[in-house]
Every structure is written in structure tokens, then in C-alpha cells.
Amino acid sequence: MTLIEKLDLPSDLKNLSLSELYELAGEIRSDIIKVIAKNGGHLASNLGVVELTLAIHASLRSPEDKIIWDVGHQSYTHKILTGRYKQFPTIRQYKGLSGFIKREESVHDIFGAGHAATSISAALGIAKARDLKGEKFAVVAVIGDSSISSGEAFEAINNIKTTVKGPFIIILNDNKMSISHPVGVLSEHITSLRYNPFYRKAKKEVERLLLKLPQIGKPLVKSIDKLLMRTKHLLINYEKSGVIYEEFGIRYLGPIEAGNIPHIMGAIRYAKTAREPVLIHVLSTKGKGYKPAEEDPTMYHGLGEFDPETGLELKKKITATYTEVFGKHLVKMARNDEKIVAITAAMAEGTGLSEFQSVFPERCVDVGIAEEHAVTFAGGLAVQGFKPFVAIYSTFMQRAYDQILHDIALQNLPVIFCMDRAGLVGEDGPTHHGVFDYNFMRMIPNMTVMAPRDGEQLKAMLEFAAGSDRGPIAIRYPKGCVPVTQISLKSSKIIYGKSELLVSSPKSLVAIVAIGSMVMPAYELIQKEKLNVKLIDARFLKPLDKGLLKKELSGCKHVITLEEGVKQGGLYSAIAEWLDEQQLNIGLAGCGLDYTGFVTHGSRDILLKNAGLDKDSLKETILKTLRS
């Protein structure tokens, strides 16, 4: 029996020796590699924080003390330590554990997280409520170095000193900076000194004596304290990291190596009794303990099933992904158009912009986790005559909604929004499904909304967008490979607001209007089953091709809309509004997601079936409509 199987977690952590804690870390790291090799998930980030998470839980009493995780893709060890060890093999599986923090899952998951930079704000609210109620518990926000540079994080940091009275701890998980051995040792000793109880006692005694000196005592104490802090930061070359937090009224401790469990525990113990908020700076290594992930942490940040022995992914792609088609074609376009600029928010690899970044480093801007800034920054480029392509996942584009509406659409600026991971993204679940973009983009004045059915159409839409001066354009496309079956375009050129009739059946009483990822499944189903229906590829959600609709729906009794998104406010609503406007007595059925609940995590096939968007469900809907 392994050590972890003998423990009642997290309470038994308090009784473990240091050697047992490190033994437990090894077991957990091994389990994470084994499970994620089978299920897929966020590997490198989780491997880097195993010891850190052990130190946090060994120093605190969760859930009485509140631990708030940022994003959540570094929370696997936290899940294992909080009573979910036996369930861990189900992570990211349908009806299994979520890959992110989920309040419904455990009392130890204090605040749900899937998007970055929320932890400090949430923790601050919890700490304020604690102080108002006169309660006594520690509040800890664990945040990464990329997330803490986000605007929301700094808004929260700016508010800490004036908001909370009790203990408030920020643990900065820094997995990007490297530090040489001598500097690391010096830093370790200085940090150890700062939270050592003998040092604190001696420091207070010196301050007490100095303060007795008339006139000069108090200024001298302040000067000595500032000198100590400045000297510390200069010696360890962390002036930029530490001084800025001190200026916000936050005590800075660190940096500490993430594998140093006793030093982290010591820092947390000090922070729990400190009179001022404390930031503990921890240096972690992405992929720690697993060589493939250490050597390529970007690749092993999030991945599918792989061989744990070799690190090689097991599932091979049949065709290129939409992401790859987008990235390669944008490079091709940019070679002929020097006005094209690509913008990403810390997701160059994920959005397909790595090659663009390499070929055109001056024309590719990674703004970090700052989607709001990315959008308004693009607006500034557009004002100066450039063609900005803002590549952000659909779910993260939501974070910049005000900027899209106020800074871009209101001024009718020609910014192109390329929204990857639109629709159902599978195992990442409700925080990452891109199912709302049709809806929130469609209702914005001046906005054009498009969705390609395959890779060739995506290329055509990118070219259309680059040549358009009509204002902002949104192009949304799914995660995964482009369809193998291709339909020959009557015209490879995209014309503004024009749909395409793919299947003509003059005598049919049923017309299907599909968009984006739902066009090819419908086309293949119609061809295979020889269904007597018309099929229109909308291509544009906004504006609708009202001319083609009027022509092809004339004489039809029923219309079925197909979309991989929330149908209320999407294609279904657009067609319903048009039918009402035309006062046409045509029955309307909508196949899409419903707005009554968030979609859980699970394989895309399962989620499509649940939503009635798999081929069997579509066939049943079409046949039922044909019989009516």
C-alpha cells in the first residue's frame, strides 16, 4: 500500500515528517502523469506545483482557511489532497472530476476558476467578508506569473491595503524565471531570515529602542527598513519583482524554490500572523519530474492521450486543424500585405500564430493575459491604417466585450476577430466552451459575423476580411481538424452577406439553414440518406442573406436551423426574426444549445449527442420534420 492510500487527507498532512511529504510528492507526481497520459489535460503546470500545494495544505486548515486558485489548471494536486484521490482517474471524463476548480465538486474548492487573473479579486472579497463578520481564518490566493500581470489582478492588488484588516496571502507561482545557483542560495537565506521568528523578534526590539530616541528614532527606523528592503532586492536582482508590491503595501517574501517545502511552510506561517498583506514569490519548474514536459513545457501544457514512457501523443491527426489552417494562411497573406498585424493574448501556440511570430516578429504582438488591452490596441492599429487580426479563443474573447463594443464597433473600426475553439471544446468544460460568441457578436451594431464550414472556406473568409473596410469582422471556427470531405465552392470568393445553396431540391417542403461546423455533418447526412431537403450554408450570421432565404424558402413549410452554439440569440433567433418580419407562416425548428444551463465537460461526441447535434439526432429531427 502506498503512503497516499494510508492517509486521511488533507488532515493527516499535519502529522507527516518532511521526508514523508517528499515521498508523498513523488507518488502524486507519478499518479498525475499516469492519469493525464490516459485522459489528457494540463500536465506541465500541475507537475510544477506538487510540492508547493503540499506545503500550502500542510500549513493551512482547508476548508476553514480559504485557498483560492487562479485558472485552475494547476489544481490537480489540490484535488488529490482534498479527498478526491480515488476519483482522480475520472478527471476530465464525462460525469467525472472537472479539470478546473468547481464549487459543486468539493467544499475545498472555494471559488470556481477557469479563466485567468480572478483569484486575488475573489480572495479579497472573501477576506473582506471575514473581517466584516469578525471571523478568523487565513485567505490565500495562488496565482501564476502570467496571470498576475493581467489588469484584473493589478486592480485587486491596488485595493488590498484599503480593504482588508486580517491575514491576506498571495502566493505567486512563477514558472518562467530562471535563477542562478549563487543567487538562489542568497535569496533562500534572506527569505528564511525574513520570516525567522528570532529575526522578527530582534528586529522589533531594535525598533523599540530606536523609537525611544527623540526626533530621529522614527525616521531612522523607516530608513533602515527601506535600506534593508532595497539592499535585499538589489542583491538578488529582484527589485522589479519585490519593490512594486511593497509600494502597494504588501510584504514581499522570496523568491523561494517551489520544491522547498519547509521554506514555503515557514513563509506561510509568518504570513498568517503578519499585520500587513504578504506576497510569497515561489519559483516553480513547469513539467518538474517528467523529462519530456520539462524540455517542452509549452507542448505539455495541455495535451491529449500520450505514452507516459516516451511522452509521444497517441492520437494522430488525419487532417490539419482549423488553428493550423488559420496560422499558415495568415502568414501567406502577410507576405503580400505588410499592413497585416497579428495579436494574441499569451496564446501564440494555441491560436496558431507561432509561425507568424517567427516570420514577422515585428508584426506579431503578444500582449499577455490582457484581452481587453489586445482589443483596444488593435483599434489603435486600425486607426493608423493597419489590418489587425486579433486571435483569441472564443471563451476568452468574452473578457473583452466592453472593448469590442465601445472601442471597436462604436467607431466602426476594421478589426478582425479570429475566434478559435468556438463551439463545444470537450473535456475542458463550461469555462472553456465557446458557445456564446454567435450571440454576443451578432447583437453589436456594425459587426459582421462569419463561420466557415471547412478549411478552404476559412482561408476565403480571412482574405475577405483583410480586403474589407466595412468595420469589425468576427470569424469563429472550432477546435479540431477541418472536415475530410470538401465541397467544391461555386465561387472561392466570399461576397459580403451572401450565403450558398449546397443542396437544391425544388419540390422539397423542408429547408435546412446551417452555419459553421454544422454544415458538413448536415451535407454528409443528406447525401448518405438521400433526404429530400434543401441545404443552405449561411456563411454569414450577420448580415443574413435575406435574398437567398426569400427565394429558397418560398413554398417551404418547415425550416430547420443548425448551429454549434446557443440558439437563442444565434442563427435560430436570426431566422425567427426574419420570418416574423416577412410574416411568413413557416414552421421553425432549431438544433443547437439551449440557454437554460451551462454545458458540462466530456468528450465532444457525448456533448453533441446530449445537445441533439450528432448525426443520429439530426437524422431523427429531419425525418420527423419531413413526416409532419
Q: Residue type at 459?
A: K
Structural element, H or E, at residue 535: strand 534-537
- Catalytic one of 84, 92, 232, 399: 399
Chain position carrying cell 457525448: 606
Cβ neighbours of 579 (radius 10 Å): 17
- Catalytic one of 286, 453, 479, 604: 286
Helical H segments across 141-216, by residue range: 151-163, 181-195, 197-211
**Which pairs with CB-CB distance under 8 Å and at least 24 residues apart come from 62-67?**
62/10, 62/108, 63/107, 63/108, 63/110, 64/137, 65/137, 65/138, 65/139, 65/140, 66/110, 66/123, 66/126, 66/137, 66/138, 66/139, 66/140, 67/108, 67/110, 67/140, 67/142
Whole-angstrom distance, CA of residue 438 vs CA of residue 514: 13
- Catalytic one of 51, 257, 371, 563: 371
Q: What is the chain's alpha carbon radius of gyration, rounded to the nearest angstrom?
A: 28
Whole-angstrom distance, CA of residue 403 vs CA of residue 375: 6
Helix, coil or strand: residue 41:
strand
Going by the DSSP 8-state scheme, the letter that residue 405 receives in this structure is I
Whole-angstrom distance, CA of residue 114 vs CA of residue 428: 9
With vertex at residue 129, the alpha carbon angle to CA 125 and CA 131, rounded to the nearest 5 degrees, is: 115
Whole-angstrom distance, CA of residue 104 vs CA of residue 113: 12
Going by the DSSP 8-state scheme, the letter that residue 14 receives in this structure is G
Whole-angstrom distance, CA of residue 434 vs CA of residue 363: 27
Whole-angstrom distance, CA of residue 54 vs CA of residue 116: 22
Given a contact cutoff of 8 angstroms between Cβ atoms, the answer to whether 152 and 118 are in contact is yes
Residue 372 among the catalytic residues = no
Residue 371 among the catalytic residues = yes
- Residue 488 CA neighbour count, 13 Å, CB half: 1
Residue 399 among the catalytic residues = yes
Whole-angstrom distance, CA of residue 194 vs CA of residue 265: 13
Which grid cell is 601? 465537460
List active site positions.
286, 371, 399
